[in-house]
Amino acid sequence: MGDGPTHSLVVGTIRPVQANSPVKEITETDVLARFWKLVGGQFGPTVVGFNILNFDLPVLFVRSALLGVRAPRLFDRRPRGNHCIDLYECRRNGAGGGKLKELARYYGFTVAEPDVDGSQVEQLIAADPEKVGRYVESDVAITWQLYRFYKGYFVR
């Protein structure tokens, strides 16, 4: 959220879900509930992501529905809407693409963790869930840098 430190919850790790709560194994339901709490409400924060309209949000909504986690809001699905800014869509303007970490390197941003192919995630979670957390936090940091870099050019 904002310029604050990056925090992640990873399914299968053991930690408190929130500050001052008991330590427990994190479930997918915990992760989804925490996400919706952070962005909840009709007038929640603008969510910024990279390919968030075509990947992240659909996955979050489907997994929430399957697990019975109520999503407190829908999103205006325009790439530069009031609810969501998709940096992938803003940059490409219908042509080209590129991966997040490729763009980061192009712009000279630090890439703390190597890219992971989506087909590797299940094995990685089983082998080293903390590494998944570092990978996700690295993506969040790069996305925030990219948003600040694009602000005033591709995004408001």
d(CA 28, CA 53): 20
Give pLDDT, residue 151: 87
Length of the chain: 156
* Matching CATH number, 14-150, of 3.50.50.60, 3.30.420.10, 3.30.70.360, 2.60.40.1150: 3.30.420.10
User: CA 19 → CA 7, 39, 67, distances in Å?
Assistant: 12, 18, 24
What are 90-109's pLDDT values in tens digits? 876 544 457 888 888 888 89
Q: pLDDT digits over 125-135, tens only?
A: 888 888 888 88
Q: Using CA atoms, how far apart are residues 105 and 100, in angstroms rounded to an integer?
A: 9
Give domain limits for the chain: 14-150
For the question of whether the overall pTM of this predicted structure is more than 0.95, the answer is no
Question: What does residue 3 show for φ and ψ, rounded to 5 degrees?
Answer: -90, 10
* Half-sphere exposure for 82 (CA within 13 Å, toward CB): 5
Task: Convert the pLDDT of each residue in 18-77 to its tens digit.
Answer: 778 888 888 999 999 999 998 887 777 888 999 999 999 999 999 999 999 999 888 888
Residue 113, sorted as left (phi over 0), alpha (psi -120 to 50) or beta, turns out to be: beta
